């Protein structure tokens, strides 16, 4: 029981700062108090995210896990296909995002944390079918991962991740609505959130 609690806390320790540190209000306050952060904010944000993810994942891997259900070769094949498909969707999604901005290199060059704020709404590529293709791909990966490793510890990771993605989506949509106004409202009416044509 104690190990479950630690695992939950470690995943929350990864996800909660991931959302809080992405808020514009937090970035503004931190950059006002520590001006040098404007240049390094995204790089440090990515570094702390990777570190906290690694800690939680490595702790989860070393735990004794209970098997939730038996997996045969058919389920394993479905799981692998889902995970590979999710990676493909992620790769296709990233084609219409600025990789330098995502890594923090653009912010470093421009000495600002707001390099991602553009004047036009991104509705190209997979964004014309779903509003959050990266999240859709992540849901697919999580489901495939649970099928591939049907352990109690995997279930904890998946449930926390799904909850985070749903909450994070609504927070992101509030930010996008504020940024793009009527254009985002019309986009929401035309394009589904996660699943195409639904």
CATH number for the domain including 130? 1.20.120
More confident residue, 111 or 41: 41
Q: What would the pLDDT profile of 147-177 be if each residue is shown by its tens digit? A: 999 999 999 999 999 999 999 898 889 888 8
Q: For residue 91, what are its two tokens?
A: 């790769």
Predicted confidence at residue 62, as pLDDT, reads: 94
Any domain includes 196: no
Bridge partners, 67 (sequence order): 151
Share of the chain above pLDDT 70, in %: 89
pLDDT tier at 97, thresholds 50, 70, 90:
confident
Q: What would the pLDDT profile of 117-130 be if each residue is shown by its tens digit? A: 555 777 788 989 99
- Residue 55 and residue 144 in contact, taking contact as beta carbons nearer than 8 Å: no
Any domain includes 95: yes
Q: In the block, which residue shows the tokens 């108090």?
A: 33
- Number of independent structural domains in the chain: 1
The boundaries of the domain holding residue 156 are 2-190
Residue 115 above 50 pLDDT? no
Give the CA count within 13 Å in the CB-facing half-sphere of 8.
10
Any domain includes 198: no
Q: What SS3 string covers 90-159?
A: HHHHHCCCCHHHHHCHHHHHHCCCCCCCCCCCCCCHHHHCCCCHHHHHHHHHHHHHHHHCCEHHHHHHHH
Any domain includes 195: no
Residue 76 above 90 pLDDT? yes
pLDDT tier at 108, thresholds 50, 70, 90:
low
Any domain includes 14: yes
169 vs 79: CA distance, rounded Å:
25
Residues 6+ apart with CB under 8 A from 10: 52, 55, 56, 59, 60
Any domain includes 197: no
Question: In the predicted model, what is the mean pLDDT of residues 44-49?
Answer: 90
In sign, the C-alpha dihedral spanning 165, 170, 176, 178 is negative
Where on the phi/psi map is residue 125: left (φ > 0), alpha (ψ -120 to 50), or beta?
left
In sign, the C-alpha dihedral spanning 88, 48, 159, 172 is negative
To the nearest 10 degrees (0 to 180), the angle between helices 24-33 and 37-62 is 120
Q: For residue 36, what are its two tokens?
A: 């040098």
Q: In the block, which residue shows the tokens 């004794």?
A: 64
Give the global pTM: 0.85
């Amino acid at each position: 029981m104690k190990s479950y609690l630690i695992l939950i806390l470690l995943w929350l320790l990864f996800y909660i700062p991931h959302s809080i540190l992405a808020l514009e209000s937090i970035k503004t306050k931190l950059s006002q108090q520590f001006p040098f952060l404007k240049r390094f904010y995204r790089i440090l944000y990515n570094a702390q995210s990777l570190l906290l993810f690694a800690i939680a994942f490595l702790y989860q891997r070393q735990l004794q896990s209970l098997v939730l259900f038996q997996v045969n070769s058919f389920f394993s094949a479905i799981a692998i296909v889902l995970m590979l498909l999710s990676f493909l969707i992620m790769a296709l999604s990233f084609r219409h995002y600025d990789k330098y901005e995502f890594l923090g290199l653009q912010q470093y060059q421009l000495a600002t944390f707001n390099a991602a704020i553009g004047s036009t709404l991104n509705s190209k590529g997979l964004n014309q079918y779903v509003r959050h293709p990266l999240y859709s791909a992540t849901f697919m990966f999580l489901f495939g991962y649970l099928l591939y490793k049907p352990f109690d510890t995997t279930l904890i990771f998946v449930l926390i991740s799904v909850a985070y993605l749903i909450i994070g989506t609504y927070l992101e949509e509030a930010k996008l609505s504020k940024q793009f106004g009527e254009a985002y409202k019309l986009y929401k009416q035309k394009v589904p959130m996660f699943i195409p044509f639904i």
